[in-house]
Amino acid sequence: MNGMNKTIRMVVSAIALLYAGLCFFLSLDHCMSTTGNPVDFFLFFPIDGNLGINLTESAPEAIANIFNYYDQFLEKIIELCQLQNMSATMKELLIIAGFFLTILGFGSKVSNDVTGQTNPAEYLWTHRPKALLKCLSLPWGLITAAWGKHPVLVIFPIILLPLYAPWSIMTTLFLIIPFLLVKAVIGHNIKSAAKKEEAAYSRNTDHGVCPNCKREFDRPKVKCRCGLILDYPVPSIYGYKYHTCNKGHDIPCLSGKRSELTTICPYCDTEIQTREALPITISLVGAMGSGKTSLMLAAADTITQQARIVDVTADSPSSSLSKDAIAAREYVSPTVPGELESQILFLKSMRMQDREIVFNDISGSEFQPDMEKVIFEEYYNYTNGIIFTFDPMSFNRGVKKDMPHEVFDSFHYMFTTVRRTSPSKVVDMPFAIVATKADICSPKMKDEDVRQYLIDNGEEDFVKIVESLFSEVKYFSVSSHGIESASAMRPVWWIVDHVDKKLTETIPSP
């Protein structure tokens, strides 16, 4: 049981036992002052100069009979022990022993069990299944504890039951009000914390993206350091500050404190990193050798350098965006065909919530005309923008292959198939058309030259089709190598600006 649950249980138990103790001392004091008379039970309630009400006298007959049976039981024990000469002292000791057995019941592990069932995290003590009944069973904890050890052992607390039953009954009743009050307070705290957390998560994170299956999800699963897989910790019946797994490890459940948690994709069960960062997904499209991967590496490198200037830390868990991979981008190998993991770049700063740039880099071979083409659904179902690359030098080759219009036709077929939309539907998504390898173009090409360059080289229909199918189209001329490689960041940041203006204002493009 975690610290919060121990505190909650202690508060409820202490209130009930404190009041039960006052009733007990009043009853014991009356027994000691009226030697030879039956045991009377008092309810602590100062009135008319008296500290309590004599329940034996004022209670209904059925309840009064229970108290009378209790006195008869004590007399029977004294008689069996042949201690009539110590009758008064023995009766007082037996009363003390009965109340003490009731107190012992509060330590029962069975009554205090908060083990999670569908989610392996401890419930809050007041919000576990049948919480009130389990709370009211505390004074009878000797029975539940014995049953938990072995059903045969329950005979011992049952034999002693008449000795402590009246005190357990009274304490059970005294538990109801403090339990309900504490539960109401905890419930209010849960609602308040959950509302704040939901607003913060929606504002700062909104959703997650799996680099393995490419799917978006509202919340991932989390993996505790002990290996248990739990629901994403949010203020709930498992806690409003932190959750505790069934093995006793604490997990924060407030927004901003969960960035270091190990997360699991809820769809493919792959261990991933989310860091509660707002994900911005960019898919790259282009023919083989058109410079998609080089652009991605140059953009990641420039973003990292620009971020460092404004005290933002950039790092990547993806091997393809490692420092070594970026440094060797001059000799990058062609992207292998097939479905690959997305490449991720995290941005962290004290001034803003973490951000996550997700690149879907797809082999150009996937855009070649092929009747048996494999369609990777999640590449285009969850994306915030498209970067379409083409090599301007390809128009100067003798054999024109994989021209922009051919690549776009193949891409658009997959895009509309995956998104289940009409081929003629206008898509509200930024679409960047990027002329790569600007460093070797002669004369040097500028952004404003790209559109006309495509038209002059027989791609006017391609330009018109793209502009009719995507509401926002912009043309860029970039270099992924040499002194002008920083230009690769511009089309990426143009798409990012559509999703997160705060990020583009914090880290300006060169």
Query: What single-letter amino acid sits at 433?
Result: I
Q: Which distant-in-sequence residues (6+ apart) come within 8 Å of 210 by Cβ?
A: 217, 265, 267, 268, 270, 272
Note down pLDDT in tens along the chain; length 510 residues: 889 999 999 999 999 999 999 988 988 887 777 665 667 777 888 777 678 787 766 666 666 666 667 777 777 777 777 665 556 678 788 888 889 999 998 988 878 889 999 999 999 999 999 999 999 999 999 998 888 888 898 899 898 888 888 889 889 999 999 999 999 999 999 999 999 999 999 988 989 999 888 888 999 999 999 999 999 999 999 999 999 999 999 999 988 889 889 999 999 999 999 999 999 999 999 888 888 998 999 999 999 999 999 999 999 998 888 887 777 666 566 565 556 788 999 999 888 888 999 999 887 666 766 645 555 556 778 899 999 999 988 887 655 667 899 889 888 888 888 788 888 889 999 999 999 987 777 778 899 999 999 999 999 999 999 999 999 999 999 998 878 889 999 999 999 999 999 999 999 988
Identify the sign of the CA torsion 101, 105, 106, 109: positive
Categorise residue 458: left if φ over 0, alpha if ψ from -120 to 50, beta otherwise: left
Q: Give pLDDT, residue 196.
A: 94
Contact criterion met (CB below 8 Å) for 42 and 55: yes
Check residue 371 and give its pLDDT: 46
For residue 201, what are its two tokens? 């998560």
Whether 381 contacts 358, CB under 8 Å: no
Query: Helices 460-469 & 447-456, crossing angle to 10 degrees?
Result: 120
pLDDT of residue 74: 74
> What is the H or E stretch that residue 180 is in?
helix 161-204
Structure tokens at 494: 């143009």
Coil, strand or helix: which one is 414? Answer: helix
List the structure tokens of 436. 């790569």
Encoded tokens for 84: 């009539």
Distance, in Å, from the CA atom of 433 to the CA atom of 273, rounded to the nearest integer, reads 30
Q: Residue 210 and residue 268: Cα distance in Å, rounded? A: 9
Six-digit token pair at 371? Answer: 């009747």
C-alpha dist (Å) from residue 228 to 120, 224, 231, 236, 266: 7, 5, 10, 19, 14
DSSP-derived letter for residue 121 is B
User: What pLDDT score does 11 carry?
Assistant: 95
Q: How many Å apart are CA 473 and CA 493, to the nearest integer? A: 14
